[in-house]
Structure 1
Amino acid sequence: MSTRILYDAVVGPGANEYYGTLVVSNIHYDGGGVVNIKEFLGVEFLSPATVAATDINASTSPWAQVNPEASNEQIDPTTYSVTAKLIVESGVSWAGATINIGINGDLTKGPDRYVTSFVFAADAMPDTSGTANIDCAASSDKALDSLQQAVTFTMGGRVVSVTVPLGETTPSKVPPGTYAVTAADLATADETTAATAQASPSSVTVVAGETVDVGVTYGAVARYSAIDVTIGRISPLEKEQFLVRVVEQGSGKKLAEFSSPNNHTTSLRRLPPSGTVDVSVVGTTLNNVQYSFDNKTEELSPSLIRVSFLEGELKTSPIDITGFATLPIVVTADVTLDATISVRLTSDTLVYTQDIKAESSTTDFAAPVGPGIYTVQAAGILDKGTVYVVNTAANLTVTQDGRTALRLTLQRGANLHVRGFPGFLSFGGCSDLTAGNEADFVAARASSIFKHAGTDGAGDSGTFLTDDQATRQTIALARSVEAQLADGSTVLPVMVSYTCNMSGGNPADHLQNVDGLARSFANLILSLNLANATIDDQHPVPAGCVINPGFIGACQQDGLSAGYRMKVREPLTTALDYWGVSAEIPGSVTEDLRGYVLAVNWLIRTVAPAVTFGWPVNLWGVGASTWVYQDDDVADAAQQTGDYAKTLGVFDGDNMPDFLVVDRYEADDFTVRAYGNGYCYGPREWGRFFDFCAALSARLRFPIMPWQIPSSWTPLTTDTVNDDFDSQHWGTGGSYIMGDAGINSDYRNINPKILALRFSSSLEMGGTAENIFTRAEPFDLTDPAYAHFPLRGIFAVLLGGGATTGIVASVGNPQPWVRDKLYTYMENPISLNE
Structure 2
Amino acid sequence: MQLDFTLQFTDNAWYPTLDINNFKSTTGENINIQEKMVLSFSAPGKITEGDITVTTNPWCELKTAIESSEISSGIFDIKLTITAASGAIGDSIENIHMGVNVSSDSAAKWDTFKNTFTVAADEETQTAGELVVTCAALPAGLENTAVELVLVRGEKSEILNPVAGKNTFNIDAGSYTVSAAELRTADGTVRAGVILSADTLTMTKGQRTSLTVAFEPAERSTTLDISIDLAADHALYREEMSLAYLENNVEKQRFTLSAGQNLRLEQLPVSGQFSVRIDDIKLNNVHYQFDAATGALDNKLHKVTFTHEQIRQNDDSQSPSAVLTVIVKAEKNVAATFDLRLIEQNTLPHQYHFTNLPMQSGSQTQSVKLAQGSYQVASGTLIHDGVVHYIDVDSATLNVDGMSPVTLTVTVVEGANLQVKGFPDYLSFGGCADMSPSNVADLAEARVSSLFKYSGDDGMGDASAYLDPAKEPTSKIIQMARDVEAITHDSVLPVMVSYTCNLSLGDVENIIDDPLRHKFSFANFIQALQMAQAMKDDEHSVPAGFIVNPDYLGECQKYGFKPDYAIPVRQPLSEAMAHHGVNIAIPAAITDTLKGYITGVNWLVRVVAPDVVLGWQLNLWSVGGSQWVYNDFTYDDVFDPEDGVKKRMTIDPALAGKLSAQYALLVGVFDDIEYVRADGTAAVAKGADFMAADRYEADDFTARAYKNGYCYSPFEWDRTFDFCASLSRHLRQPVLPWQMPASRLASVSEEVGSLDEQFWGTGGSYLMGHAEIGDSVEAINANLLNIEFLDVHTSMMGHNPKELFSRHEWDFSQPKYGDFPSRGIFHVQVGGGATTGVVSAVNRNSSSWMRAKLKSYRNNPVKFSK
Category of TM-score, reference length = shorter chain: 0.7 to 0.9
Give the secondary structure class of the aligned counterpart of 2:494: strand
**1:418-457 matches, cutoff 5 A:** 418-430=420-432, 446-453=448-455
Residue number in structure 2 paired with 1:17: none
Query: Are residue 353 (structure 1) and residue 353 (structure 2) matched?
Result: yes
CA displacement at 1:272 relative to structure 2 = 3.4
Letter of the 2:305 counterpart: S
CA displacement at 1:646 relative to structure 2 = 2.4
Cα-to-partner distance string for 1:98-127 (whole Å, 9 max, x where unaligned): 877666843xx5x76356447777899997
Residue number in structure 2 paired with 1:135: 133
Residue number in structure 2 paired with 1:15: none
Residue number in structure 1 paired with 2:285: 288
TM-score, length of structure 2 as denominator length:
0.75
Residue number in structure 1 paired with 2:162: 165
User: Which of structures 1 and 2 has the larger relative contact order (alpha carbons within 8 angstroms, sep 6+)?
Assistant: 1
Residue number in structure 2 paired with 1:619: 620
Cα-to-partner distance string for 1:708-736 (whole Å, 9 max, x where unaligned): 45677899xxx994374989999876787
CA displacement at 1:640 relative to structure 2 = 0.8
Residue number in structure 2 paired with 1:113: 109
**Structure 2 Cα separation of the partners of residues 53 and 586 of structure 1:** 49
Residue number in structure 1 paired with 2:738: 707
Query: Are residue 824 (structure 1) and residue 859 (structure 2) matched?
Result: yes
Residue number in structure 2 paired with 1:660: 691
**1:244-283 matches, cutoff 5 A:** 244-249=243-248, 252=250, 254=252, 256-283=253-280
Match of 1:646 among 655, 665, 685: 665
**Structure 2 Cα separation of the partners of residues 564 and 121 of structure 1:** 68
CA displacement at 1:641 relative to structure 2 = 0.9
Letter of the 1:702 counterpart: Q
- Preserved CA contact (<8 Å) 2:737 2:828: yes
**Structure 2 Cα separation of the partners of residues 172 and 456 of structure 1:** 51
Give the secondary structure class of the aligned counterpart of 1:814: helix
Letter of the 2:663 counterpart: Y
Cα-to-partner distance string for 1:133-188 (whole Å, 9 max, x where unaligned): 25141342254444444444557x646343232333333535645x5443332333
Match of 2:727 among 693, 696, 705: 696
Distance 1:634 1:51, change over 3 A: same
Cα-to-partner distance string for 1:654-697 (whole Å, 9 max, x where unaligned): 24222222334557779998777544343x65555444333322
Distance 1:523 1:791, change over 3 A: same
Gaps of 5+ in 2: 25-30, 633-650, 674-684
Give the secondary structure class of the aligned counterpart of 2:273: strand
**1:374-413 matches, cutoff 5 A:** 374-392=375-393, 395-398=396-399, 400=401, 405-413=407-415
**Structure 1 Cα separation of the partners of residues 39 and 555 of structure 2:** 45
Query: Are residue 184 (structure 1) and residue 203 (structure 2) matched?
Result: no
Which moves more between the two structures, 140-149 or 55-64?
Answer: 55-64
CA displacement at 1:642 relative to structure 2 = 0.8
- Preserved CA contact (<8 Å) 1:710 1:806: no
Cα-to-partner distance string for 1:61-113 (whole Å, 9 max, x where unaligned): 99999999988766556x4438597999999999999877666843xx5x763
Distance 1:36 1:593, change over 3 A: farther
Query: Are residue 305 (structure 1) and residue 305 (structure 2) matched?
Result: no
**Structure 1 Cα separation of the partners of residues 255 and 190 of structure 2:** 24
- Preserved CA contact (<8 Å) 1:70 1:82: no
Letter of the 1:257 counterpart: R
Letter of the 1:822 counterpart: Y
Residue number in structure 2 paired with 1:218: 215
User: Percent sequence identity over matched residues?
Assistant: 31
**1:501-512 matches, cutoff 5 A:** none
CA displacement at 1:501 relative to structure 2 = 5.4
Distance 1:307 1:441, change over 3 A: farther
Residue number in structure 1 paired with 2:823: 792
CA displacement at 1:342 relative to structure 2 = 1.5
**Structure 2 Cα separation of the partners of residues 59 and 209 of structure 1:** 29
**Structure 2 Cα separation of the partners of residues 42 and 513 of structure 1:** 57
Give the secondary structure class of the aligned counterpart of 2:836: coil
Residue number in structure 2 paired with 1:492: 493
CA displacement at 1:307 relative to structure 2 = 0.9
CA-based RMSD: 5.2
Match of 1:804 among 817, 822, 836: 836
Query: Are residue 754 (structure 1) and residue 780 (structure 2) matched?
Result: yes
Cα-to-partner distance string for 1:211-231 (whole Å, 9 max, x where unaligned): 644433322222232221101
TM-score, length of structure 1 as denominator length:
0.78
CA displacement at 1:414 relative to structure 2 = 2.6
CA displacement at 1:636 relative to structure 2 = 1.6
**Structure 2 Cα separation of the partners of residues 385 and 194 of structure 1:** 49
Distance 1:449 1:36, change over 3 A: farther
CA displacement at 1:295 relative to structure 2 = 2.3
**1:380-779 matches, cutoff 5 A:** 380-392=381-393, 395-398=396-399, 400=401, 405-430=407-432, 446-453=448-455, 464=467, 466-467=469-470, 471-472=474-475, 474-476=477-479, 478-479=481-482, 482=485, 490-500=491-501, 521=522, 524-557=525-558, 559=560, 562=563, 581-582=582-583, 593-630=594-631, 633-652=652-671, 653=673, 654-666=685-697, 677-682=709-714, 688-709=719-740, 721-722=749-750, 724=752, 752-754=778-780, 758=785, 761=789, 775=808
Give the secondary structure class of the aligned counterpart of 2:160: strand
CA displacement at 1:55 relative to structure 2 = 9.8
Give the secondary structure class of the aligned counterpart of 1:693: helix
Distance 1:753 1:384, change over 3 A: closer
- Preserved CA contact (<8 Å) 1:51 1:71: no
Give the secondary structure class of the aligned counterpart of 2:235: helix
**Structure 2 Cα separation of the partners of residues 53 and 514 of structure 1:** 44
Give the secondary structure class of the aligned counterpart of 2:318: coil
**Structure 1 Cα separation of the partners of residues 508 and 47 of structure 2:** 30
Cα-to-partner distance string for 1:770-794 (whole Å, 9 max, x where unaligned): 98699458x9977x76564444333
**Structure 2 Cα separation of the partners of residues 458 and 680 of structure 1:** 28
Letter of the 2:543 counterpart: P
**Structure 2 Cα separation of the partners of residues 354 and 333 of structure 1:** 18
- Preserved CA contact (<8 Å) 2:563 2:666: yes
Give the secondary structure class of the aligned counterpart of 1:268: strand
Which moves more between the two structures, 669-678 or 217-226?
Answer: 669-678
- Preserved CA contact (<8 Å) 1:429 1:450: yes
Which moves more between the two structures, 435-444 or 518-527?
Answer: 435-444
Cα-to-partner distance string for 1:413-446 (whole Å, 9 max, x where unaligned): 3333322233444444555677887677667765
Distance 1:690 1:26, change over 3 A: closer
Residue number in structure 1 paired with 2:637: none
CA displacement at 1:548 relative to structure 2 = 3.5
- Preserved CA contact (<8 Å) 2:181 2:194: yes
Residue number in structure 2 paired with 1:81: 76
Give the secondary structure class of the aligned counterpart of 2:737: strand
**1:302-381 matches, cutoff 5 A:** 302-319=299-316, 321-322=318-319, 324-349=321-346, 350=349, 351-355=351-355, 356-370=357-371, 374-381=375-382
